[in-house]
Chain A
Amino acid sequence: MKILVSIKRAIDYNVRIQIKGDGSGVVTDGVKHSINPFDEIAIEQAIRWKQAGDADEVVAVTIGGDAAAEQLRTALAFGCDRAIHVKTDDAVQPLTAARVFEALAKKEEPKVFLMGKQAIDDDANQTGQMTSALLEWPQATFASEVELSSDTAKVTREIDAGLETLDVDLPAVITTDLRLNEPRYLKLPDIMKAKKKPIEDMSVDDLGVTAAARLETVKTAPPPTREAGVMVESTEELVSKLKEKGLL
């Protein structure tokens, strides 16, 4: 069984995001980037399937600039067999990503297209769903447990009301939630071996995909800072303060 896993290069979750002076976006220069944590969980899952004998080939794919090759190398160090780098220097909107993934899925014909439920940079949470729609494949999002068999997958989803279990026919798009697994620590020899594994470069045009331009970023701004609190001496004062603010 072949598994396709998509990953996104995103600003590391430890980094405090800084907004550019002119509000046109966030500062990325010199900032530590990593694989989007949800995508890392997807890679880990695919590798576990491979190690358990449920999958025989795992292919990692990303869309992004040259620097994203670093994240593909990390995916290869996890144990992915090969990688595909769809190169573009433009910001990638979810629909563009989904169109690219549709083209790649038709080319690679995986049984499972696995990806993080969302990326921690723009939190769109759309690409998996759009990819499944374009491919007309079943989708199972927010997976916290997946049991694979040859033609179906039993997926436990984390939803507001608790856990929901779905059976989906394969091929399917599955997106991963936080509790699916805990990614492994990479071993230094595996990182070294990953340097020799193949990364295939292609452009968005090579795949015959038209980039979507449906979203326009109007402004990027930091959340408002919290103002210092006030200590009140008595309940009377508390009530009058709340009234002052129109809260009572």
Chain B
Amino acid sequence: MSEVERDVMEYDVVVVGAGPAGLSAACRLKQQNAEIEVCIVEKGSEVGAHLLSGAVFEPRALDELFPDWKDKGAPLNTPVARDEVYFFTGQTKSVKMPNAFVPKPMHNTGNYIISLGKLGRWLGEQAEALGVEIYPGFAAADAIVENGVVKGIVTGDMGIDKNGEPKDGYTPGIELRAKYTLFAEGCRGHIGKRLIREFGLDADADPQHYGIGLKELWQVDPDKHEPGLVVHGAGWPLDKDNTGGSFLYHLEDNIVAVGLIVDLNYSNPYLNPFKEFQRFKHHPKIAQHLEGGKRVSYGSRAITKGGLNSLPNMTMPGAALIGCNAGTLNFAKIKGNHTAMKSGMLAAEAVADALAANGDGGDELTGYTEAFEKSWLYDELHASRNFGPALHKFGAVAGGAVNYIEQNWFRGKAPWRMHDTTPDHAALAPADQVEPIDYPRHDGKLSFDILSSVHLSNTGHDEDQPSHLKLTDPSIPIERNLPKYAEPAQRYCPAGVYEVVEDDDGKPRFQINFANCVHCKTCDIKDPAQNITWVPPEGGGGPKYSAM
């Protein structure tokens, strides 16, 4: 829509996404030089509305960003008191790992159990107090790239009807131009995806790997509440070809967070991450915490977990990728918040230096890459670079053993490097070569159906707008994916967006209920034909998480 006349606003730095990376970058910029004009756009209706994480939080980056975070009231209220790690060997069986056998990165002394949504809101307040302008409800639709230089972003148009025609009140998006643009969209950001491709940023990296995280918050029986308890697990209900891990954390106020992460290189197209999560909660080791409690929230988000081997080049002229948009999560620790914050801070320092040296911007932020390679963030990611590939290659037990040896004997400096070069979308086995999975029916107490779950994510979109889930070739779901893979989108989507329904004439039809979308990005990642592209809907749409 190049013919539309757009308002233009200019800043020194535009940040896309008000998550831990984007907010930390914005705060750091203002700390370096209060004169730098910084603006953040956020597609969620408010800061935190789209944030979802476990989360056990390592305060290292926060200590550096706001050494006085305690006095400033940062919501780190529950120190980790105790770690338990289980290997679930069956529906009712488990083996508890003795503490001595737990890989070092999984020890959590000194860490906190937090709600990332609350931390994000707090960081947003700090950023605004430092003079950062934050605009929630405004999605960055695309990057402005001119002559190979990123010049800012265009915000999404508002008021387009479902046929693509302007409605009353149609408001075109505006151009936010900047000397430097930092992309902090989180895992599989849609602009980051474009930039990685356009600038060939991943030319020297392994394919990126992802997981889908599903999470619920429970209000539990006060007698069962043990603030600070951290329970991690692997194994059942997943298996060696369909891997993942689980978490259960006791926060403050009788709240327990429970979740399952399914690696998106799973092979069985019948696998349904949502139903795996629902049945997982019936394992006695998990059910004992939840029974008698009440589920209060549900959500889902993909995570970027390829680590250092999959990390693309993070800079291009005029812009940088930070946080999970680049892929800085430490999978061995199952933590991405402190690393996202640190990457944002490093990028911010490089931007502040570049602005001081050359006021025009638009150049490659080499200072960011150099600082990254010298930072503890790099050391951390380097130490755990084999963790994911080992699990992918050897499964949870043997892979876990490799990790134990690496992390505890070699302290992450083992003289080998493992690679996993199959992209997640290419990992599916044809449906006729695997058994369909017979999932138990939800009981309405510990396990639930998908629609009542999505309801708890407070998700909403104006239904009179074009679907934000674009099919490059609309025939693929029924003509190719359905016969070959039983169209896995029906199952991997944690919000029931995709359905194969029967038309009046008895033919299958692919239906996209985009209004249910919780913005997890799994479809964009896992579709075997790479035919689904996630683009942002009208700003303010999507989930409205309170404290995920």
Which residues in A have some Cβ–Cβ distance to B below 8 Å? Answer: 12, 14-16, 18, 21, 27, 29-32, 34, 182, 184-189, 191-192
Contacts and interface: CB of A to CB of B under 8 A. Distances in A.
Contact of B174 (A12, A27, A188): A188
A187 B458 contact: no
Contacts of B48: 30
By Cβ-Cβ distance, the 9 closest A-B pairs, closest first, are A185-B158, A14-B460, A185-B171, A30-B546, A30-B547, A32-B544, A15-B458, A184-B169, A31-B546
Nearest to B44: A32
B526 interface: no
B455 A192 contact: no
A12 B544 contact: yes
A187 B172 CA distance: 9
Given A189-B7, A189-B9, A32 B49 contact: yes
A187 B460 contact: no
B296 interface: yes
Interface in B92-138: 115, 117-118, 121, 133, 135, 137-138
Contacts of A187: 7, 171, 174
A185 B7 contact: no
Contacts of B546: 15, 27, 29-32
B219 A21 contact: yes
B544 A188 contact: no
Contacts of B71: none
Interface in B135-178: 135, 137-138, 155, 158-159, 168-169, 171, 174, 176
Contacts of A27: 546
A189 B135 CA distance: 10
Interface of B: 7, 9, 45-46, 48-49, 115, 117-118, 121, 133, 135, 137-138, 155, 158-159, 168-169, 171, 174, 176, 219, 254, 296, 455-456, 458-460, 544, 546-547
A184 B168 CA distance: 9
Contacts of A21: 219, 254
A32 B458 contact: yes
A17 to B, nearest CB: 10
B456 A191 contact: no
Contacts of A189: 7, 9, 174
Given A30-B121, A191-B135, A192-B9, 14 more contacts: A12-B45, A14-B458, A14-B460, A16-B455, A18-B296, A21-B219, A27-B546, A32-B46, A32-B546, A184-B171, A187-B7, A187-B174, A188-B135, A192-B133
A14 B118 contact: no
A188 B155 contact: yes
A188 B455 contact: no
Given A16-B456, A182-B168, A30 B117 contact: yes
Nearest to A70: B46
Nearest to B538: A185
Contacts, number: 60
A16 B453 CA distance: 11
A30 B171 contact: no
Contacts of B115: 30
Nearest to B49: A32
A222 to B, nearest CB: 10
B133 A185 contact: no
B174 A185 contact: no
B459 A14 contact: yes
Contacts of A184: 169, 171
B48, B138, B544 interface centre (most CB from chain A within 10 Å): B544
B174 A15 contact: no
Contacts of A30: 48, 115, 117-118, 121, 546-547
A247 B330 CA distance: 62
Nearest to B254: A21
A185 B159 contact: yes
Nearest to A17: B458
A34 to B, nearest CB: 8
A241 to B, nearest CB: 22
B156 to A, nearest CB: 10
Contacts of A29: 546-547
B315 to A, nearest CB: 27
A18 B45 CA distance: 19
A26 B48 CA distance: 20
Contacts of B7: 187-189
Contacts of B456: 16
B458 A16 contact: yes
6 contacts: A15-B544, A30-B547, A31-B546, A185-B159, A185-B169, A189-B7
A188 B154 CA distance: 12
A32 B117 contact: no
Nearest to B173: A188
B46, B49, B138, B458 interface centre (most CB from chain A within 10 Å): B458
B138, B155, B546 interface centre (most CB from chain A within 10 Å): B546
A31 B171 CA distance: 28
A170 B460 CA distance: 39
A16 B460 CA distance: 11
B536 to A, nearest CB: 15
Contacts of B133: 192
A30 B255 CA distance: 14
B544 A14 contact: yes
Nearest to B539: A185
A192 B48 CA distance: 21
A43 to B, nearest CB: 14
Contacts of A188: 7, 9, 135, 138, 155, 174, 176
A29 B544 CA distance: 13
Contacts of B176: 188
A30 B49 CA distance: 9
Contacts of A32: 45-46, 49, 458, 544, 546
